[in-house]
């Protein structure tokens, strides 16, 4: 296709998982929300064949002809999957030229807020925009492929919410996906508390798979319980029964803790939130670190802010904006 622009900028939202993480990989439903914190990608065309990547204060440059070798050599750097994403997206357009790529995030990487999917979605959208293209289904497919590079066996939930925005029910069936938008209260707020613990999502997902293989009966009990909690939460959200939503969030966290994906730090943060008036709290994402999400009444907002004064925190609403051209 014909190149239409020499500069492009796009963004994608990060996300929280309200219910159903981990079990969504095994065809159980999950509820996800895009949040107001975004990841921005900007690119401009170079006069050579080098791809220069600037992300999180890391600079790396690779000749485009050498990028495909990374797939065979294995990744020795966290930026290498992104070079593959850039290369594969350019090949979609039969394009071969150099790029300066800059990625900026409004949340810490590894915070459990879907940063890897948001980075890939924003980056792919930015390249599509060079050619005047904005095909959400194709961007989803390429973003899911990128997630497979990074996380081995993703459900597709994170790419779905980054691309669609809003509040959704996500469920996968074999290679198919079901995405159902949910109406939501525009004033509903969540507090995000970052634990400071970094973790590798793919490793935690592999640990869960190992647990499933070793004890399939127990895992099935956990998975069915997760589905029950998620279905109850769907109805509670529709009824705007936020007291029940909060209780179900805490129940979901307890289940994830039994699954072995929480940590002492995350458990302490959840307990601290509940002791300071939260309606509910839970880890979000893979667990093992990252962040917790806290649901609260407006009257308890300041109390919770004070309670978590020593932590990296922010309050956010659900964002209706998915991927977009900036």
Residues with catalytic function: 158
Alpha-carbon gap, residue 45 to 34, rounded angstroms: 30
Q: Which CA distances in Å does 5 have to 1, 84, 100, 129, 131?
A: 12, 22, 14, 8, 7
Q: Which CA distances in Å does 219 have to 151, 248, 260?
A: 21, 19, 11
CA atoms within 13 A on the CB side of 67: 28
What is the chain's alpha carbon radius of gyration, rounded to the nearest angstrom? 20
Asked if residue 50 lies in contact with residue 67, where contact means CB atoms within 8 angstroms, the answer is no
Q: 99-105 and 50-55: which strand pairing?
A: parallel
Tell me how far the alpha carbon of residue 170 is from its chain's centroid: 13
* CA triple 102-104-110, angle to 5 deg: 120
Token representation of residue 111: 């915070």
Q: 7-19 and 324-325: which strand pairing?
A: antiparallel
Secondary structure (DSSP) of 52-94: EEEETTEEEEEEHHHHHHHHHH--SSTTHHHHHHHHHHHHHTT
Buried b (16+ CB within 10 A) or exposed e, 145-160: bbbebbbeebbbbbbb
């Amino acid at each position: 296709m014909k190149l239409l622009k020499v500069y492009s900028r796009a963004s994608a939202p990060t996300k929280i998982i309200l219910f159903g993480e981990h079990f969504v990989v095994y065809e159980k439903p999950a509820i996800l929300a895009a949040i107001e914190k975004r990841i921005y990608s900007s690119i401009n065309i170079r006069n050579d064949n080098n791809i220069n990547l600037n992300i999180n204060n890391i600079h790396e440059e690779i000749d485009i002809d050498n990028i495909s070798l990374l797939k065979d050599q294995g990744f020795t750097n966290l930026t290498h999957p992104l070079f593959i994403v850039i290369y594969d997206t350019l090949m979609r357009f039969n394009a071969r030229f150099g790029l300066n790529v800059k990625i900026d995030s409004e949340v810490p990487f590894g915070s459990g807020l879907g940063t890897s999917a948001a980075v890939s979605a924003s980056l792919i959208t930015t390249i599509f925009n060079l050619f005047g293209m904005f095909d959400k289904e194709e961007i989803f497919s390429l973003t899911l492929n990128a997630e497979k590079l990074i996380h081995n066996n993703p459900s597709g939930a994170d790419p779905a919410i980054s691309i669609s925005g809003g509040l959704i029910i996500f469920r996968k069936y074999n290679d198919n996906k079901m995405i159902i938008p949910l109406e939501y209260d525009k004033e509903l707020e969540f507090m995000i508390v970052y634990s400071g613990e970094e973790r590798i999502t793919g490793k935690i997902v592999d640990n869960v798979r190992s647990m499933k293989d070793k004890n399939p009966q127990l895992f099935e009990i956990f998975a069915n319980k997760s589905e029950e909690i998620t279905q109850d939460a769907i109805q509670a959200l529709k009824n705007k029964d936020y007291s029940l939503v909060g209780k179900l969030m805490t129940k979901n966290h307890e289940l994830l803790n039994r699954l072995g994906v929480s940590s002492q730090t995350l458990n302490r943060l959840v307990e601290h939130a509940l002791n300071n008036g939260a309606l509910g709290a839970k880890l979000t994402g893979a667990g093992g670190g990252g962040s917790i999400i806290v649901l609260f009444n407006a009257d308890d907002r300041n109390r919770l802010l004070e309670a978590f004064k020593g932590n990296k925190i922010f309050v956010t609403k659900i964002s209706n904006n998915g991927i977009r051209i900036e």
